[in-house]
Amino acid sequence: MTKSDLASADLLEPVDCVSYRLRRAARTAAKFYDNALRPSGLRNTQFTLLGSLDVLGETSIGDLSEELAIDGTTLTRNLEILVRRGLVENIEADDGRVRNVRLTEPGKKTYEEAVPLWREAQQHVLEALEPERWAGMRAELRIIEVTCTGSG
């Protein structure tokens, strides 16, 4: 699409801001998943952190930050809540400079108990989207990530 096509389609008006639309959808989805996960005692962000640690195993905060596209300060603040709850533990890496984190056994158990709640919420959303539409949206979201970070 050319600049001329964008302007004629009114896509350059603030009401159609890509960032605004994405943030609005993200906030709405986060509230929905927070409500679904409430019986587990986890928020959506906490569930995501535990799930990432379940997949990655012990990892550095820097690597986790990069994986989740979250700045280090925000990630550290969110992890500290999980550390205080005994769901995540800090591990001093071999070089003493890098701090690693990993799931504790209670963290793994809490995550596994929350997965069915998440699956139910995920199924609800996917039923509205249909698999093909979600696959297309995932691809479009990846294009936005690449475009905005300059990576590829």
CA distances from 117 to 6, 56, 110 (A): 41, 22, 11
CA distance 101 to 78: 12
Q: How far apart are CA 52 and CA 107, in angstroms?
A: 12
CA neighbor of 90 nearest in space, from 105, 79, 77, 75: 79
10-residue block means of pLDDT along the chain (152 residues)? 57 80 94 98 97 96 93 94 97 77 97 98 92 91 90 59
pTM tops 0.85, yes or no:
no
CATH of 13-149, one of 1.10.10.10, 3.40.50.720, 3.30.70.1150, 1.25.40.80: 1.10.10.10
